[in-house]
Amino acid sequence: MQRFEIPGGTSGLRKCRREFPRGPWEKISFEYKQELKQIFLENQSPHGQPLCAYCEAQISSQKSHIDHVDPKGDPQFAHLTFCVENLVASCGKTNSQTCGHHKDSQVLPEWSKPYARQNAAERFRYDLDGAIVGSDDEAEEVVNMLNLNEKTLKQRRMQRINEILSMQRSLGSDAALLKMHLRDFPSLVDYLVG
Ligand SMILES: [Zn+2]
């Protein structure tokens, strides 16, 4: 899991926070939500393509949502409703929920939060079938909270693993060269190619 920097350009959020210190989120207009989402998507584009803050799959403006890392529905986090440090872009709704939608009202451990991640990559490994495995109980709980082994996500990771293995056969093991061709799942890529 990669750490993201907190994006700038969100002074509108500060204004909302002054006016409505405890929300609700619905106080901001649809147009401003779209504008904000664009800011988060750009911020989460390490290789020019926006990635979900949790699963690191590619997302688009249409297929994503702004997620409250600490859930906005929980009164103990109401003061974080308009706090940029608590907002990221995450996968949109699908048939089987993942990421922010699956997390819902659950609370992630501090080390796994997108802007606070500390050595998070070291706590996960990947199997050849695309599964992500937590190396301890808490990391495994994060996988379950975000439903990171959902069928489609797992398939996409397996596809990426196979691509990496075949590229290693044709391009050799030059990590920088391999990374140039792989724009999503950066933690998986790092895990495989270093
Ligand atoms: Zn996701």
Sorted by where each begins, the domain ranges of the chain are: 11-189
Say if residues 30 and 56 touch (Cβ distance below 8 Å).
no
Measured in Å, residue 120 CA sits from the centre of ligand 1 at: 16
Mean per-residue pLDDT, 19-39? 96
Q: Facing residues of 126 across strands?
A: 132
pLDDT digits (tens, 9 = 90+) for 67-76: 999 999 899 9
Looking at residues 144-153, what average pLDDT do you find?
A: 96
| Average pLDDT taken over every residue of the chain | 94
d(C-alpha 120, C-alpha 2), whole Å:
7
Q: 3-class SS at 95? A: coil
What one-letter code names the amino acid at 120? A
pLDDT of res. 114: 96
Please name the residues in contact with 121: beta carbons below 8 A apart, sequence gap of 6 or more.
1, 2, 187, 190, 191
Please write the tens of the pLDDT for every residue from 117-148.
888 989 999 999 999 999 999 999 999 999 99
Q: Determine the average pLDDT of the residues in 81-98.
A: 93
- The rounded Å distance from CA 56 to ligand 1 centre is 6
pLDDT classification of 173: cutoffs 50, 70, 90: confident
The first and second tokens of residue 159, run together, are 């596809």
R_g (Cα) of the chain, nearest Å: 17
Stretch 25-45: mean pLDDT, rounded?
A: 96
CB-based contact 120:1 (threshold 8 Å): yes
**pTM, full prediction:** 0.94
Query: Alpha-carbon distance 72 to 74, whole Å?
Result: 5
What separation in Å is there between the alpha carbon of 169 and the centre of ligand 1? Answer: 29
Mean pLDDT throughout 60-66?
A: 95
What is the model's pLDDT at position 154?
A: 97
Q: What is the pLDDT of residues 92-113, one digit of tens each?
A: 987 789 999 999 999 999 999 9
Quote the ligand 1 centre to 142 CA distance (angstroms): 13
| CA–CA dist 87, 94 (Å, integer) | 20
Which residues have beta carbons under 5 A from ligand 1 (an ion)?
52, 54-55, 91, 99
